[in-house]
Amino acid sequence: MNFFARLYYKYRQIIKAIQLFLIISGPGIIVMIADNDAGGITTYAATGAKYGYNLNWLIIILIPACYYIQEMTVRLGAVTKRGHAEAIFAGFGSFWGWFSLMDLLIVNWLTMITEFIGMTAALKIFGVPPFLTVIALCVIMGIMVLNGSYWTWEKITLLFCAMNLIYIPGAFMVHPSVAAIIRQGTIPNLPGGLSSDLFFFLMANIGTTIAPWMLFFQQSSVVDKSLKEKDIPWGRVDTFVGSLLTGIVAIFIIIVTGTVLKGVNVDDAAQASVMLMKTNKYIGTFMAIGLFDAGFLGAICISLASSWAFGEVFGWAHSLNYKIKEAPWFYGFYFSLLLSAGAVVLIPKAPLVLITLFVQVVAVTLLPAALVFLILLLNNKKTMGEYTNTLSQNIINITIVVLIIIISSAYGVSTLFPNILK
Amino acid sequence: MIRNFLRHNYAKIREINKKYAIPNVEMSAGVKFSLLSLRLYLIFLVTLLLYKFITLVR
């Protein structure tokens, strides 16, 4: 009897833990899955097509790197109750504050254009004209935020996150060789030696892993969700699950294109979808749906990251728990970003390729600053108290940050001067 | 209306600058070094961007 009582007690404990996780989870999973945005899907699709499964090890290494960086935003948000933009203003003064805020606005707006490019390209495959896609998306994204509840928005967004897992059945449908995946993808290797092409792909994969908007989004999201210090352990689990999922999705995309399109040059994910459709209609369709979903998640999170950041600094009411009448500036800003980015895609002969390249360069100006500020803020004992970075956390985080800064800078510079690597 | 909007925002920006005039992070040698490195890095990047822009225009 005693054994069964203990078993039941354990069962109740596990159920309670799961329930608590489901309540607290959200910001970490959403930010990580949204990180696999339209640009990310293109990078992974192209990586698989070019190098097969050989670069999967890089994605495996990037999973903990992603976790360590984003975990800091959970602690910072839960302890200071401030978003990243406001934390930079308060911590380093208005010069660095304005620099970060304006840079964030430009990078996010340009990135949103790339998300709309991805979404319109994905739906064009199914015969949906771009103007209809943009209008429908703005309406859907509007409805999602205007319900006046962070909780509802988060749960709807999590459903879209679940849709991002569509690449997993897609990968099983192409019947890849599991032995080849393990043999080629789990041990670090440089297929064909460290050529300029390979170096560019390594940088592109690392560059898409951490984007500046992610830091701002997760911290603001933690604040909007009113997470407290006691919730930090669950926030960590949420972030870890998110980083694991983002890595898994990336690996499965690489498996799909690495199996079916090996040796083919892929310029974008929409092109990869069309090519896959020629082999198997369903796999191509899955790829296109996944691309649309990735762009959708990216657009909704990026526009919110900007609106939260401006709301924090300008002192507007800036929570998804407010109705539009209570937070007109916050929602007005959100919609103006969304509509203007969508409109650019509809301009005939707009330099969309140039915009896509420019995003990578401008992001390089913000990412190092945001990461350095994050480390410095996490070492500020006065505000962080017992949640200040420990020595081991500092060693790990500073190493990751320095590597990301070097590699993303090299990526940005090689985008500006493509011949530099040759 | 536009004048009112601009005046309001100008006043708001001044208020923000005043509010965050004194950074709350202690400016230790490490912090100062990090911020200086960041400035130099950004100057380098902006110079590269300007160089690219000028060579493109030419």
Q: pLDDT above 70 covers what percent of chain A?
A: 99
In the structure, what pLDDT confidence band is assigned to residue A1 with cuts at 50, 70 and 90? low
Global pTM reads 0.89
Shortest CA distance from B44: residue in chain A: A365
pLDDT in tens, A291-306: 999 999 999 899 889 9
Q: Does B16 touch chain A (CB under 8 A)?
A: yes
8 A C-beta contact, residue A248 and residue A66: no
ipTM computed for the complex: 0.89
Least confident of A88-92, A194-198, A328-332, B22-26: A194-198
> What single-letter amino acid sits at A372?
V
8 A C-beta contact, residue A20 and residue A234: yes
Residues ≥6 apart with Cβ < 8 Å to A16: none
pLDDT in tens, A166-175: 999 989 988 8
Please report where in the chains the tokens 């200071």 appear, as a residue: A80
Chain centroid to Cα A239, Å, comes to 12
8 A C-beta contact, residue A367 and residue A404: yes
Q: Reduce the DSSP state of residue A191 to 3 states and report it.
A: coil
A311-338 as b/e: b if 16+ CB within 10 A? bbbbebebbbbbeeeebeebbebbbebb
8 A C-beta contact, residue A38 and residue A272: no
Shortest CA distance from B30: residue in chain A: A376
Q: Which of B34, B42, B48 sits opposite A413 (nearest CB)?
A: B48
Q: Please give the pLDDT value at position A193.
A: 75
Maximum average pLDDT range among A160-169, A191-200, A406-415: A160-169
CA dist A138 and A133 (Å) reads: 9
Inter-chain residue contact A380 with B35, CB threshold 8 Å: no
Q: Does B33 touch chain A (CB under 8 A)?
A: no
Inter-chain residue contact A365 with B45, CB threshold 8 Å: yes
Residues of B in contact with A96 (CB under 8 A): 35
8 A C-beta contact, residue A318 and residue A308: yes
DSSP label of A227: -
pLDDT in tens, A299-350: 989 988 999 999 999 888 888 888 888 888 999 999 999 999 999 888 887 7
CA dist A401 and A57 (Å) reads: 19
8 A C-beta contact, residue A413 and residue B48: yes
CA dist A66 and A258 (Å) reads: 24
CA dist B58 and B56 (Å) reads: 5
Inter-chain residue contact B12 with A376, CB threshold 8 Å: no
Shortest CA distance from A377: residue in chain B: B25
- CA nearest neighbour of A388 among B18, B49, B25: B25
Shortest CA distance from B42: residue in chain A: A365
Half-sphere exposure of A67 (CA within 13 A, CB side): 21
Chain centroid to Cα A15, Å, comes to 30
Q: Does B40 touch chain A (CB under 8 A)?
A: no
CA dist A64 and A78 (Å) reads: 21
For testing the chain B interface, which of A96, A103, A366, A376 should be mutated: the one with the most B CBs within 10 Å? Answer: A376
Statement: residue B56 has pLDDT above 70: yes
DSSP letters spanning A271-339? HHHHHHHHH-HHHHHHHHHHHHHHHHHHHHHHHHHHHHHHHHHHT----TTS-TTT-HHHHHHHHHHHH
Angle (CA) B32 B38 B42, round 5°: 150
